[in-house]
Structure 1
Amino acid sequence: MGDKPGWGTDSELELDWGARKARPGPQDAGASPPEEPAPALAGKGPPGDPRYMSLELRLSLEAVLTATTLRMRQFREALEILIGWEGKNKYEVSGEDGRGTVYVGETGEGWMSRLARNFWPFYRARLECMTVGGTLAMAVELPWHLFFARAEVTAWDGRPMGDIVQRLRLFGRRFDIVSSTGAVLATVEGPFWRPWTFRILQRGEEVAVIRKKWSGLLQETFSDADNFSLEFQPSCTDGRLRQLVLASALLVDLTYFDSRKNRSLFGAGADIVD
């Protein structure tokens, strides 16, 4: 009889289990492969419409789009607190559970940006709202202004979503939330006798409220770091308007409660002439 074929030792026998595919069972026969999340549809629909966002972005903004209350907390750098040298504006936006959902940061790195932020009178600030995963959700640009403050808001795909424009009012404070087509979507009104409260009205009905919260004696005395709450009525279900309310809260803070600087030619008083 012939010799048996030599199979070699066990160490010479290599089995590539990773390359083997599992055989489909009876329950898998004819099953369709799992569907992948729908990609973001940039440039489709109204700017900022959540229906055209990616699934990851919609889930990250769930609190902004659906929560009854949001908390917005401002941060200050140590150098800024000690000597008044202005750093970048930074905020954390969290839901009712206290978990951060959006982080807002002012762009511009290096000493040149820091010098421009402190000394250039025509400085144009840009605040980017980022998700926890690092996805851009919205951007707010604050141009220099002569009398009335203004914020230009762009959606996640770079399209203009609207503007928040300060208006003249003899008693109290007012902003208009304007769409990219020029239509007034809502107004932000701050009663004269309630300086820390700003009501968002749509067709005369209150849909949300921005409130500045007491941050403690030491923080209120020695720092400009502010805390805000954004409270939404159940009727406020428009995802685009809710994003613009968040942008309005940023503009309210930098217009009325940021004593470090002012982008108006005539100083802080020009911002509260109304």
Structure 2
Amino acid sequence: MKKPEPINSINKVETLTNTYKYINNNTTIYEVQENEVLTIIDLIDTDYEFIRELKVNDNATLNYIKIGKSKNSSSIKYINNIGKNATLNIAFFESENSKNTVETKLTNSNSSLNIDALIDLKDDAKVEYNVLTNHQNKSFSDIKFRNLLGDKSSAKLNMFSIVEETASFSKAFQNSQTILLSDDSFISVTPHLEILIDELEASHGATCGDLDKDSIYYLQSRGISEDDAKKIVLDAIRDEVVASVKNEQLSEYIKGLL
């Protein structure tokens, strides 16, 4: 593993700290040392079972980007450990079959977990996510899923966050937004918060519907065909999630992999 770049460096695509493509089922640990930044692109295009342990030491930042493109079905279990004043940013991009479990214990003060996911499926693809987050100290979590489901595809999302009595002044957020692009597509979402204290900020929610008809109508009124208008609206949703990586060059690189 190459040495991560200093925290004050600018991560450019051509000089990303690490770019990985995995073809085996070994347990893999990614560790970011104190005060450092690491960016990983994890391209999953096999049907193995994986374990990913993401360890972020004090005052460090890990940007983990998973691109799931397995034609069969991959299965991944994530075990996340985040240090004091450390941040784990995760971006999930799913276009094929996969089953995922994401377990995070926020045991250190001011640790942060950010998850931005795009589940963009067609044909009969199936994706499942079980996201389990435990706030044991003052900490932050923000879990967001954007789901675009066409044809006979389906997704199942279980988001469970618990805020312990020892985690006063934590923040815990969950959100899922789904657009069903066909009558045969299906989504099951279970957002759940278990809160054992009063001093915190927390929210959860899930929405499901069709494409925004007003946006499509507006574009059509400007001379754009209905099909092109729908594509523009969908691409805007995709771009919003890709932009969560907060690096323009990296965003463009990811678009090329999707």
Q: Please, what TM-score do these two structures have when normalized by structure 1?
A: 0.25
Higher helix share: 1
Higher strand share: 2
Q: Please, what TM-score do these two structures have when normalized by structure 2?
A: 0.26
Q: Looking at CA atoms only, which structure, 1 or 2, has the larger radius of gyration?
A: 1
Higher relative contact order (CA 8 A, sep 6+): 1
